[in-house]
Amino acid sequence: MKVVVVTGSAGLVGAEAARFYLDQKYRVVGVDNDMRARFFGPEASTRWQRERLEADYRAYEHVEADIRDAGAMEALFRRFEKDIALVIHTAAQPSHDWAATDPMTDFSVNATGTLNLLETTRKVAPTATFIFTSTNKVYGDTPNRLPLVEYETRWDVDPSHPYAAEGIDETMSIDQTKHSVFGASKVAADVMVQEYGRYFGMNTGVFRGGCLTGPGHSGTRLHGFLSYLMKCAVSGREYVIYGYKGKQVRDNIHSHDLVRAFDAFHRAPRPGEVYNMGGSRFSNCSMQEAIALCEQIVGRKMNVRYVDENRIGDHVWWVSDVRKFREHYPDWRLTYDVSAILTQIHTACIAPSG
């Protein structure tokens, strides 16, 4: 039986990927040590996802290991060797706020952990597809230099600009910009994944995500925009908006749409390729617009507080141009917009536990 190795397998994208391939009758080996709980506290723990995977699928094997442990990763891969068809690397320290509190840990997880997995794959399963979940933060705050226009509920790029129709493409420079510590560690990993494709000829692919979201997200204050927003809407707890008048824009991609993109790449890999991957013009919203949607779905006003100071390195406007991926894989399409995503998250929030 072919094996898919998923790191961060109890997280949003990792669990989605695990279920996707388990449903296709692959054997899935998940690597996750619930560092998310260490980063963000018990509320952000992903243990519930692990327990559901183990309960729902006999073909799922969970390995509680640290991707920074090169020996443990090699020992794991050697158990399966040439049966490994695909590695989906989603494990990460995902918050640029948290990264600034502990740059050493952030870099060791995001950069060194990625290098460990690349080298292990090259030595043990060199023909496997290797998919890396990067981030739009590799572009730093360069997007904030775009000519932006303020509207009633959002900022948007000037209609005359080339990015206005479809969003930001992969030609934007990732150099000479303020990335945040998190963005810098992801740049290191992103470039190394490209290099293992271009230099060593491995089937590596880089997916630079915007806001990755869905009902499987353990959203928390420092990470998981839509998930945490809906949690606050349902519970009545305070939600804090940081800067830009709450008009900052993000595109949002459902984890299922993202994993379908991974699978399209796996079936016809392009070594070392890079894709901006998000909701594009199909699925995006400002903070104000997201709050209004949450209030509409929940049926009451949210408890919102505004702080004028924005977060360091934060984007005012981000919409991913996904045309390159669509050109390479024309059968792929986005299927969930922001309203559908928030409705799913709301259903998950109010569902009885267990």
* pLDDT tens, position by position, 226-243: 889 999 999 999 999 999
Element holding 122 (H helix, E strand): helix 113-124
CA-CA distance, 230 to 351, in Å (whole number)?
Answer: 13
**Tokens read off for 301:** 């006003």
Q: What pLDDT shows up at residue 223? A: 60
Residue 239, domain CATH: 3.40.50.720
Contacts of 254 (CB under 8 A, 6+ apart): 213, 214, 283, 335, 336, 340, 341, 344
pLDDT at 354 over 50: no
Residue with structure tokens 């917009």?
337
CA-CA distance, 95 to 99, in Å (whole number)?
Answer: 6
Mean model confidence pLDDT for the chain: 94
CA-CA distance, 50 to 11, in Å (whole number)?
Answer: 9
State which residues form the domain around 195: 3-350
* pLDDT tens, position by position, 112-163: 999 999 999 999 999 999 999 999 999 999 999 999 999 999 999 999 999 9
Percent of residues, the chain, with pLDDT higher than 70: 97
Question: How many domains is the chain built from?
Answer: 1
**Tokens read off for 239:** 């939600």
* pLDDT tens, position by position, 73-119: 999 999 999 999 999 999 999 888 889 999 999 999 999 999 999 99
221 — pLDDT class (breaks 50, 70, 90): low
Half-sphere exposure of 11 (CA within 13 A, CB side): 26
